[in-house]
Amino acid sequence: MPQRGTKAQNDLANAFVKFPIKWLAIIAVWAMLGVIYAGPIFLETEAAEMGHSPWRIFSWGILTWLAWAPLTPAIIWLARRYSLVGEAWKSSLLVHVPAFLLISALHSAAATVITLSIKPFDDMGSSPAAFWPRFLSRMQGSFASDLLVYGGVIGICYALDYYRKYREREMLATRLETQLAQAQLDSLRMQLHPHFLFNTLNGIVGLVRDNKNQAAVSMLVGLSDLLRHTLEHSARHEVELREELNFIKLYLSIQEMRFSDRLRIELNIDPATTKAMVPNLILQPLTENALRHGIGRRAESGMVGISSAAENGHLRLTVYDNGAGLPDDWQLNGSTGIGLANTAARLQQLYSDDHQFDIRNRDSGGVEVVILMPLRTAS
């Protein structure tokens, strides 16, 4: 209930704010048209040296056009209530015709009163006419221009309504696309976390079976730190590279316990890239693949490295190892690995076509995974 009350109060406050703004906009438009209307008349009288007062001519012109201001909301209401667009335009026309005649008569009456009160051309020598003859004369003479004004207000009203609906549809489509991307990324993360957790726990079980209890305890402590870091950053799509590196160092410290002296780590990070934004947990599945397929299948020691570099407005991340390498017929599309598939899908979701994801054998032996993505910082 308090939330509903607060929302209602906010809506009411917004309505009060928008109401005077709309009226000020209506008044400003009609006043501007009044200046545009009176300007040529004044210049013409000046050229003819008639000696008419400028303030009378401009105030008469402005007030005559401002008389449309209080009639504008009525025209807009009629345009929206009885639409002239669609199948019902004929029946709506039966309402608009008498409504136009009434509004035209009201404006002519207001314009006649303004003319008789201000007397913009009283120096011409003619005595002011009575109200009714002047009113009827104006009604007849301004019929076409009043019809143009009436139609113009309706046309602008429909144009603004169509633009507002277009913007609403555009915002709705953008919101739906964002929600879809969010759902897909959340789904990918939910697939990744159990996979990572299973592999780590499996490593701890292996240490316990080998009676390496101290290493198992240290690995559990490292896992606790990893899970805390993951939970703290789980809602973020992107993090700074330095945060991602802090996480991967925690992960590699666990793996060093698991592999003992068989694992060597290389980090070649360009300091200029540490504040670059990268997908959250992007390095972990790639590093895990390097350990599992590159180092885990070797009896001798192996190396896993991570490097970063700025390259023509893009960030290049590379994860590499010196393992056995990929088969000659290996292709990413045919891979069954969850980590690689998730990484490819996340990069596509976040960067569309503005990225590269390449996995290939190194010339010196082993495999390297290269990611090229836009180089941008949090600021």
Q: What is residue 333's predicted lDDT score, i.e. its pLDDT?
A: 67
User: Of 187, 167, 185, nearest to 175 (Cα)?
Assistant: 167
In the prediction, which pLDDT does 14 show? 58
Cβ partners under 8 Å of residue 76, min gap 6? 153, 154, 157
Residues 6+ apart with CB under 8 A from 123: 50, 51, 52, 53
Question: Within the chain, which residue ranges are assigned CATH 3.30.565.10?
Answer: 189-374
Q: Which two tokens stand for residue 64?
A: 């005559």
- Give the pLDDT confidence score for residue 184 in this predicted structure: 57
pLDDT at 191: 52
The series of mean pLDDT values per 10 residues for the chain, 379 residues long, is: 49 56 88 93 83 88 94 94 88 94 95 90 55 89 94 94 90 72 57 65 82 82 78 75 90 78 89 92 86 74 92 94 82 67 82 90 90 89
Q: CATH classification of 189-374 is 3.30.565.10, yes or no?
A: yes
Q: What is the pLDDT of residue 274?
A: 94
